[in-house]
Amino acid sequence: MFRWPRRIFPTRSRSLLVACAPRSLGANCGLTLRSSGDLHRDGTWPAKRSLSSSASRAKCHPGSGPSAQTLGLKRTIVPTPTTAQIGRAGELLVQVRLLLLGIDSAAMSTDAGIDLVAYAPTTRRAITIQVKSNLKPKPGGGKGKLALDWWVPESSPAQLQAMVDLSESRVWLFATNELASIAQQTSSGRHHLYMVTDPAYVPRKAPKPARVAEFSKFALELRAPELLEA
């Protein structure tokens, strides 16, 4: 067995690399860590420790990977959709909900107060729909309770009004001629309908429904068969 002379090795090194013995002697070539107790039994070279043991272990830890900070990644900022995108998203949601009820619909090419034309196969008639969309609830008056709200012209040419909450994928359906009795406010030729999302909200004056839960009977799934297929 090949052995290195003992006199050339220091005795105080804590961990050492085994030197590669010549191939002619039949030794396996490789580098391994050895303790100082093996110093005089096998030929070893002092190990060079350029990094701390904890840093070395962290690099070789099973399942570990580079962190976002190490890779220099930055937090992704999701852009806010434009008003046109919010409106189109609302129209698509209404179309999907109608299609699931077996009612086809198509978007209009131009904006003339009518966004969709729906066709009810049972009655074989087409009905026009205007879609109003909210991305998410916002404070009423800027500082009040979170609420959804929509403004609809009194002179809207559409037969039905679809109110959309994109944050919860909710749709309510109203006949245009019934909004005057349902909307809480009417100003400058427009009906203003709002729904407060806080179920504990108690309005000072409550002549008309104002909380989301109070409009459950107007959900599209309930109203569409009544308004389109009656």
Q: How far apart are CA 133 and CA 84, in angstroms?
A: 10
How many folded domains does the chain comprise? 2
State the pLDDT at residue 54. Answer: 45
Q: Are residues 102 and 29 in the same domain?
A: no
pLDDT given at position 46: 52
Per-residue pLDDT of the chain (230 residues; tens, 9 = 90+): 555 555 544 544 444 444 444 444 444 444 444 444 444 445 444 555 554 444 444 444 555 566 555 566 677 888 899 999 999 999 999 999 999 999 999 999 988 999 999 998 888 999 999 999 999 999 987 778 999 999 999 999 999 999 999 999 999 999 999 999 999 999 999 999 999 999 888 877 767 889 999 999 999 999 999 998 77
**Whether 88 and 183 share a structural domain:** yes
| Claim to verify: residue 42 and residue 135 sit in the same structural domain | no
Whose tokens are 């068969």? That residue is 225
Residues 104 and 174 in one domain: yes
Backbone angles phi, psi at 133, to 5 degrees: -125, 140
pLDDT at 170: 98
Which DSSP category does 219 fall into?
B
Pairing of strands 160-165, 125-134: parallel
Q: At 107, list the tokens.
A: 């978007």
pTM, rounded to two decimals? 0.66
Q: Which domain holds residue 10?
A: 6-55
Structure tokens at 71: 């890779």
Residue 192 lies in a domain: yes
